[in-house]
Amino acid sequence: MNLDRLNQARELKSKLDKAQKELSNTIVEASSGKGAVKVTMDGQQNIKSLEISPKVIDPEKHELLEELVLKAVSEALAKSQKAAAKQLTGLTGGLKIPGLL
């Protein structure tokens, strides 16, 4: 491997490390049930918080709560993945590099 390619690889790794750190500081939020369930997630798809309004906690209607949580988590995950893709696409030139997303 020539020196130019090695330097390019090091530079790309440095940029990817920086992007990953920025993604850990990127926060997205999603909610369902008119705000009854709120999920906060970072750009690395880690759930940071989950808030559930007491008004939707009904043992007789636990399926509704399950649906609201699933919907909010799924939406937060989609937003987080979109933020990560946007951040990393510029660094990789659109290449799909395994393990980055």
CA 46, 39, 27, 97 dihedral sign is positive
Give domain limits for the chain. 3-89
**CB burial of residue 100 (10 Å; 0-12, 13-18, 19+):** middle
Q: Please give the share of the chain, as a percent, with pLDDT higher than 90.
A: 53
Distance set, CA 14 to CA 6, 10, 75 (Å): 12, 6, 30
Average of per-residue pLDDT across 24-50: 94
Which SS3 state, helix, strand or coil, does residue 30 take? strand
Average of per-residue pLDDT across 56-81: 94
What's the CATH superfamily of 3-89?
Answer: Nucleoid-associated protein YbaB-like domain (3.30.1310.10)
pLDDT number for residue 101: 52
